[in-house]
Amino acid sequence: MDLLLAPEFAIGGLPHTERDAKRRAVTVEQLQASATTLPRGLTVVLGFTERARDGLYSTAAVITAGRVVHVARKVFPREPGLSAGDLAPVIQIGGVMVGILICADATHPELAATLARSGAQVLLCPLNNDMSEAHADQWEEPTRTALRMRALEARCWVVSADVGGVRPGRRALGATRIVSPTGRTVAGAGGLLDFVVAEVP
């Protein structure tokens, strides 16, 4: 499968307040209207703030052949105004069984274990680690460790896409990487805003 994974909140950016979340939110139907412009031979996973009938969610949409074919909602949101979703089922993409863990969800071993028991071979982790300098220093190593541990525990490939870069008082972790089921990082962005590409057997 040819797949492009984008960070959490790739569309609209990270909301910092409930008002901000409402302003940035779009519906799945609105996203679908734009999905037809994406390349047909590529599956794209996009993170966005979803406006649903029952609340706002951090959502990852799987788009293939110009259609939204699957959505996953963050189970453990930390952003103001966002509701908790349910763990989405495993989906088959190009013959590969894939599960999705959105940002903080990747720090919860039980979620990865549930997806692995359901047959997941790859765990996709859209991240958005844009934070204060103090929090960045605190979370940099635990974030990378969590991705490695999920790969080891679930015996799955883990693919993450994170935001990167610095601005006054803030730093993004850039924890974009591809981790093998043995816990080895086969490709990583090293904290930079960059694409990571690898062939996953």
Closest CA to 101 of 143, 139, 67, 60: 60
- pLDDT at residue number 1: 62
**Domains of the chain and any CATH numbers:** 3-188 (3.60.110.10)
- pLDDT at residue number 111: 98
Residue 190: which pLDDT band, with cuts at 50, 70 and 90? Answer: low
Residues in the chain, total: 201
Q: Is the pLDDT of residue 123 over 80?
A: yes
Can you read off the two tokens belonging to residue 17?
């307040």
Q: Which residues contact 187 (CB under 8 A, 6 or more apart)?
A: 177, 178, 196, 197, 198
Q: Which residues contact 199 (CB under 8 A, 6 or more apart)?
A: none
Task: Say what the pTM is.
Answer: 0.92
pLDDT tens, position by position, 27-57: 999 999 989 888 888 899 999 999 999 999 9
Q: How far apart are CA 200 and CA 106, in angstroms?
A: 20
Cα atoms in the 13 Å half-sphere on the side-chain side of 115: 34
Q: How far apart are CA 201 and CA 166, in angstroms?
A: 34
Closest CA to 189 of 157, 162, 151, 150: 162
Q: How far apart are CA 121 and CA 156, in angstroms?
A: 5
Can you read off the two tokens belonging to residue 189?
């962005």
pLDDT tens, position by position, 171-188: 888 899 999 999 999 887
Q: Which residues contact 17 (CB under 8 A, 6 or more apart)?
A: 80, 81
Can you read off the two tokens belonging to residue 150?
């999920």
Can you read off the two tokens belonging to residue 125?
């982790």
Task: Give the bridge partners for 159, in sequence order.
Answer: 124, 178
